[in-house]
Amino acid sequence: MSAEKPVLLSVEGVTKGYPGVVANADVSFQIRQGEVHALLGENGAGKSTLVKMIYGLVKPDQGRMTWRGAAYAPPEPRVARASGVAMVFQHFSLFEALNVAENVALGMENPPPMGALAAKIRAVSDAYGLPLDPSRMVGDLSAGERQRVEIIRCLLQDPKLLIMDEPTSVLTPQEVEILFRTLRQLSAEGTAILYISHKLEEIRALCDEATILRRGRVVGTCTPRDRTAREMAEMMVGAVLTPPEKGAKTEWPQTHPALEAANLTVNSPIPFGTSLKGISFAVARGEVLGIAGVAGNGQDELLLALSGEIKSDEGMVKATGVGVGRLGPNDRRRIGFVAAPEDRLGHAAAPDMSLVENAFLTGAIRKGLTNRGFIDWAAAREFADRVIKAYDVRTPGSHVAARALSGGNLQKFVIGRELSQSPDVIVINQPTWGVDAAAAAAIRQAILDRASEGAAVVVISQDLDELLEISDNFAVLNEGRLTPPRPVQGLTMDQIGLMMGGAHGMEEVHHVS
């Protein structure tokens, strides 16, 4: 059916290189009018560079693009938008202190008066089933609602091609269904969609065609609904994939839980954040506790409180029975307590520092990277290189700045840096966010390996499949409160839905079902 549709965008022999790496090499593919076209590949395969060229953020070194048969080479996004290309980025570009209409106006060349714009926002949100109040402050919105702001900002441009980069990474299953309904409606009306995601079952459900990249080159195309998720993942990596395996359970001697929260209550230091209210749980050596929840329900605050970035009353957080609530992150690291936050660029890693420097920032204490008060750069470089090799981080070398890595490769580095420190307690928020299938499997296996060696692990994630795959016990974070943990074994999706019952967007859950 899609073959009968006219070609909207044609990319022919496009190549783009950077010092030490070729991001795209002789890439060719077509997108047809009204087609939902997936762009698949591992982290660092060249997907982001390719869509940046289409959107006018990056200029190709070689090759050409045509738009409706005419030469197309946008020098900047403004020109791409004028041609009919719109893009929703993985990281939202919104101001929390402004309302929805004000944020939308900032993305328009010539915004109308606020009253007229609010009316347009309401009309588009009604037409596409994206409920949104133009007067609400963005800081008060859930992640799914923030994404709607970005989508509606694009739809007001009447795009002919909508590029979406990892659009479901922070959405609940119910919000994903709402998004897919909107995208199918856009497709039926003739808008083409270029869709980047690592969630292959979503690709199978939504997309008409897929172009697969590996190390910057096109290695194949397929019709997703005719392939299994595993087949597509193996096309991406060029190898057979093995799912993570839990090791045999070991009974570790312990007089106290390895990690314990007792009525943990702290105010959020984050603007529009969620304070923690009476959180209690215990994690034994060798156990993985999975904590689910919709974005914005206190996940960041819980990571901060457990890592020591937010201090609490002495006994609210305990490690091996000893109160550590007043200890900062370095003192907690000293006793074997490591953490990896969700925000990899700026929180987990300093963007302009090299990977060696970033390895030193958290590894100095446990890896002994100082000598008589001076930094041991040789040891720091060796540590960074070991992490890069062990976690298959695609980079020209450890001298490269963190911001030069693709999101997924930086994620692998950050997680590897923490897990490589022989920790006894591990807390990770969104361990595989924006990471391809092979890398996600490797990260999950590394987490399970650390647990099998006796570490107590807390994994905070919005990926329910991930939590059910690696967790021993499961709880849900909801408006700063935690449900009592319960064993994963025998837990059904209906029970999980009830546990998540107070989360944002329940009106839509009922509507969708």
Distance CA 347, CA 340 (A): 9
Q: What is the pLDDT of residue 501?
A: 60
Provide the β-strand partners of residue 317. 261
The DSSP H or E segment spanning 438 is: helix 437-452
pTM for the structure as a whole: 0.70
User: CB within 8 A of 468, min separation 6: which ones?
Assistant: 290, 474, 488, 491
User: CB within 8 A of 233, min separation 6: which ones?
Assistant: 200, 241, 436, 437, 438
Q: What is the pLDDT of residue 30?
A: 96
Residue 470, token pair as written in the block:
């690696």
Instruction: Provide the strand spans (E) within 243-287.
Output: 259-266, 276-283
Q: What is the pLDDT of residues 59-87, one digit of tens each?
A: 999 999 999 999 999 999 999 999 999 99
Q: What is the pLDDT of residue 356?
A: 97
Q: What is the pLDDT of residues 426-466, one digit of tens each?
A: 999 999 887 777 788 889 999 999 999 999 999 999 888 88
Q: What is the pLDDT of residue 170?
A: 66
Residues in the chain with pLDDT values less than 70: 1-3, 169-170, 172, 248, 501-513
Q: What is the pLDDT of residue 13?
A: 96
Q: Which domains does the chain have, with CATH numbers?
A: 2-237 (3.40.50.300), 288-297+329-512 (3.40.50.300)
Closest to 33 (Cα-Cα) out of 65, 68, 73, 72: 68
Q: What is the pLDDT of residue 251?
A: 75
Rounded-to-10 torsion of CA 480, 329, 418, 249? -60
3-state SS assignment for residue 475: strand
The DSSP H or E segment spanning 12 is: strand 7-18
Q: What is the pLDDT of residue 446?
A: 92
Distance of CA 133 to CAs 124, 151, 181, 297, 467, Å? 11, 14, 19, 20, 33
Instruction: Provide the strand spans (E) within 267-369.
Output: 276-283, 288-292, 317-319, 322-323, 337-340
Q: What is the pLDDT of residue 435?
A: 78
